[in-house]
Structure 1
């Protein structure tokens, strides 16, 4: 399998190539000298099909299925092969680029992230397995002959990459609904191809499970702790715009509305807690690194929390109108463990200040507030805010301590990269 010089997600922020062209209903060839409707990958995809042994009728069926039969080259007096040749000529193969080298700057060697090694046979088998899993649905939904066999041949002869994108486009074009497990598998399979998530996610009909704030389908931070990070070193947009961004920031694997549901649950817990206004104010300022003070809007901290909740409700009315928030259980079994980790850093907290040059929050005060959240509100929320405060303090961590945080995060069900937001401060034990 030949990989592009740059990952697809760097070059394209939505579907691309022939599959993207089908999604845009833009099958007509570009005018000579004009702006082409498409991208360089259209030419690459066209050449992949032309170099295969697929007969013209199979190529035509493949395109019509992806395009919902909106543009038929035959109706324009062209064969499908000549049409593909036109795209190949519009986007000729680029000259090979020179191999990339390491760059040394001020005695530091910058190494590009390691890219996945794709084995065509393995990727082809994986895509063929996905076709087999939705074979019956495709056969029912697509009013073209032998579409499953056509797709299989395309994967076998034109490559797993193009075949997988065309499978996704055909599912979208014919409104074939997939369950959450199948959708997760599509996302997993897209990652070694280095697609942006929109290639899978956009326009695909997914049978999402009901909203449940207890589900952990995201890789990164979430809820109130994630929101505080958006206001650290905050410069662009209004406060309401930042709130709406957070409420709408569903992870690619989450049911629509999940980010708002989790944030609403966190804020509801804080508002219903016995924490004083001063404690809530300190908690917010410490976690957001003093990046935003609600009194700038002429409101106090409880009004600010109520505004967060209202933005979440607005989002939920749009995306999940049947959802009715109900408080879930807290992980009280982990309270003592979180408190031990917090108290283990008591001396380090006392020696540091959040934003020391601007009405900062003493680390010892932040630690006291976090203890109250863990003990009186929710140890899960408290641990997430603890990680945020560690980041705000620039707290150095031993590898052993960081490993304990990772293990604790796993017990809370956090995603792969959640705890890693503080890994820049790990100090080697060597």
Structure 2
């Protein structure tokens, strides 16, 4: 790869970074860290602990905290912590660069230079407590290891550090921490990325952003989450504690990767057993995708509920829609709940959620999608033979598949083609008929035209796809 490259993570022109790296020879064996960890790990996790523990930690306390992290999951936590330490020890980085990054990551509460043995002496003590070892069983053996190269990672992370350098410098200067010149933190983080390890540099950068409350706009947040995905990190490693400047709530946006709205709610009641129905709706209304402005799940669900409440559809048709799309997971008829009253409960729960997280939001649903109505109707009619002879909930008050499809067609024709198509996908999930590869491809194309996320159609339908060669 050439000395200048574009970030392959974002697929867009970001910052072009020339590389003349003298990085550590301590190679990191990448794993799907999200299989083992729920949040941060390694030295960046130690920095977080040191930044909040009371009283202000000394050298001995830092070593005890490191031992606690190393003991995670029967000692698995020692692997990444040990690699992080050796990446710094084996690098050509000056001690003051490591010290500056570490002071920033711990919010000025732990200075390794104040240790009797100095910065590298402290790191050597950590290394002595962490015998070099490899994980016995690769975390990503079922999913495959992340395949992003170190050069690609360094390029992308340096671009993000430079994008935040100005705001970061301002936040550090405003903190009043001595020994941290405003521009030195970003420079030190960049040096760690270039000359030690891109993985560690990214995690320390995220820790510093969170520690100083540096605002991150939605575009940068999406790029950081793309890095998170590429590296197999747990998503919370990026978003927990990050100050994201979210765009205003907008039900026309399609930021989630999977289903949303009423069609997504029906999946929450598929094989539902625990919790009350009311609590289940509360959980769904609060289940914002990590890419969404807080409150989006509730706003999208509220929009669908309003569409059906304000429509000319009969109460019986709405009941059939709910029962069929949820696989009769929650039988509102058996529970004595009128279908429109059920929608009103959903509406009230969503409004309660929005008062909590987006009090200024006012429901103003976008106009119904009519441009793709004919295309959706064609797919419904193409799938009709697959549903004519099937029954939904065949062991308890079966619902004819043809009747369920007719109710969905009413939504497409008289309410909203978008909602109707999402309910159609849910129906396919419940019934699981064998689609041809052409049918599945057309559904994917329609999903893209509606702006759905990349996983929406695949996860919502989850059906057998057949071709002339057999099942794909």
Q: Do these two structures clear the TM 0.5 threshold for a shared fold by scoring above it?
A: yes
Cα deviation, residue 340, structure 1: 1.1
Q: Confirm whether residue 118 of structure 1 aligns to residue 148 of structure 2.
A: yes
Structure 2 CA distance for aligned equivalents of residues 202 and 78 of structure 1: 34
Q: Counterpart of 2:62?
A: 29
Residue 206, structure 1, aligned to residue 206, structure 2: no
The equivalences for 1:15-414 within 5 A come to 15-24=40-49, 25=51, 28-31=61-64, 35-36=68-69, 39-40=77-78, 41-75=80-114, 77=116, 79-95=118-134, 97=136, 112-143=142-173, 144-145=180-181, 146-295=184-333, 297-414=335-452
Distance 2:91 2:232 in 1: 24
The aligned counterpart of 2:33 is: 8
Contact 2:30/2:146, CA 8 A, preserved across alignment: no
Q: TM-score, normalised by structure 2?
A: 0.84
Q: Residues 43 and 84 of structure 2 are in contact (CA less than 8 Å); yes or no, is this contact kept in structure 1?
A: yes
CA distance in 2, matches of 1:290, 1:94: 52
Moved more, 77-86 or 313-322: 77-86
Q: Which runs of 5+ in 1 are unaligned?
A: 102-110
1:4 shift after superposition: 4.5
Q: TM-score, normalised by structure 1?
A: 0.92
Q: Hey, what's the Cα distance between the residues in 2 that align with 1:208 and 1:390?
A: 34
Deviations 1:107-144 (A, max 9, x none): xxxx8333331211121111111112122222222241
Matched position secondary structure for 1:345 = helix
Q: What secondary structure, in the 3-state scheme, does the structure 1 residue paired with 2:328 have?
A: coil
User: Deviation at 1:298?
Assistant: 4.1
The residue number in structure 2 matching 1:107 is none
- Name the Cα RMSD after superposition: 2.3
Tell me the secondary structure at the aligned position of residue 427 of structure 1.
strand
- Distance, in Å, in 1 between the alignment partners of 2:165 and 2:64 is 38
CA distance in 2: counterparts of 1:317 and 1:135, whole angstroms: 35
Distance in 1 (alpha carbons) for counterparts of 2:228 and 2:142: 21
- Size of the alignment, in residue pairs? 421
In the TM superposition, residue 242 of structure 1 has moved relative to its aligned partner by: 1.6
Q: C-alpha offsets along residues 387-417 of structure 1, whole Å, 9 cap, x if unaligned?
A: 1101111111000000000001111000001
1:106 aligns with none
Contact 1:30 1:36 in 2 (8 A): no
Q: Per-residue CA shift, 1:370-398, capped at 9, x if unaligned?
A: 11111111110000000110111111100
Q: Which moved more, 1:212-221 or 1:179-188?
A: 179-188
Deviation at 1:149? Answer: 1.7
